[in-house]
Structure 1
Amino acid sequence: MSLPVSVKDSPVAKMMIDELIVRKKKVEKLERTRNQTGISLFILLIGLLFFGFDWTGYGLLGLPIHVKGSFGMLLFVCAAAGVARLMHVTKKTDKADHEFEELREELIQRSEDFWKDDHNWKQRETIFKQLVERYDINLFHR
């Protein structure tokens, strides 16, 4: 998890970078979960449209559809649970992304304090390049 270039002069910077990597991985995992949930919900809704509803007669809110038996009701309940899960995962993803961005901006702001002289400033550039290449975390600008 840690970078090959060590942050010798500033253990606080190393802790912040490590935490930034952990938060980035958490955001990516939640985004994958959100995408998978959305795709599953879409497939479930398509199944509900084709196999869960009977399109003859008047049943649901005066529309010419009604739910087909227990299978249709099961699909409907699963779709409702899928919508609730998608909303929950989206909320968690947004919160994790916001926390990641806050820490990233704090590290950018404090980078001048962590790497003061020229040698350390070159080390900073190396570390930031590695973060972009390995973890897709850009700390060069806000």
Structure 2
Amino acid sequence: MESPILMLDGRTDQATKKMLLKVVERKQKYDQLTNRHLLLMWSTIFITFCYFLYLYYFLFVPYSYSFAAVFSVFVGKSWNVFLLMLVIGLYGWMNILREKRDKAEKEFHALRCEIIDKSKDLWKKEDQWQNRHLVFDMMKKNFDINLFHENK
């Protein structure tokens, strides 16, 4: 378990600590997928830009007099087709990562909202209820997870 969650001795029970740990894990998974998606998105944009720049200067400009000449030179070099497939594959992989990121965000947000909704059940005792804001502050400060409101 995360050490700040372990240090919540009398303020929470074991089940609540497990829920807090799960929401931290989901937040980390969401952040990791967000970073991967951004890296892949910018890589795809850069590679696509370089590829189209290459096509423009070495294919379209010298052979612009005829579409048939451009097409025959493009198909004549097999690595042009492979590079085109690479760009298409990177675009598809980027979309798959975006879908995974969106799914991880929904799972994280759902669990966070569940903790907020069940806060009266999770902190039943009066002294626990009075100190729950300390738990919420710790989650916000250490993990950037807002448990005060359901809005993102």
TM-score (norm 1): 0.87
Match of residue 52, structure 2, among 49, 52, 55: 49
- Bigger Cα Rg: 2
Shift of 1:7: 5.7
Cα distance per residue 1:16-50 (max 9 Å; x no partner): 10000000000000000000010010011101111
Aligned residues: 138
Point out where structure 1 has 5 or more consecutive residues left out of the alignment. none
1:106 corresponds to? 114
Residue 33 in 1 paired to residue 40 in 2? no
Change in 2 beyond 3 A, CA 1:38/1:58: same
Q: Distance in 2 between matches of 1:104 and 1:48?
A: 43
Change in 2 beyond 3 A, CA 1:127/1:78: same
Shift of 1:124: 1.4
Percent of paired sites with the same residue? 24
Instruction: Answer yes or no: is the 8 Å Cα contact 1:52–1:71 preserved in 2.
Output: no
Instruction: Answer yes or no: is the 8 Å Cα contact 2:11–2:128 preserved in 1.
Output: no
Task: Give the aligned residue type for 1:27.
Answer: Y
TM-score (norm 2): 0.81
Q: Distance in 1 between matches of 2:129 and 2:93?
A: 45
2:80 corresponds to? 72
Shift of 1:115: 1.0
Point out where structure 2 has 5 or more consecutive residues left out of the alignment. none
Change in 2 beyond 3 A, CA 1:11/1:58: same
**Higher helix proportion:** 2
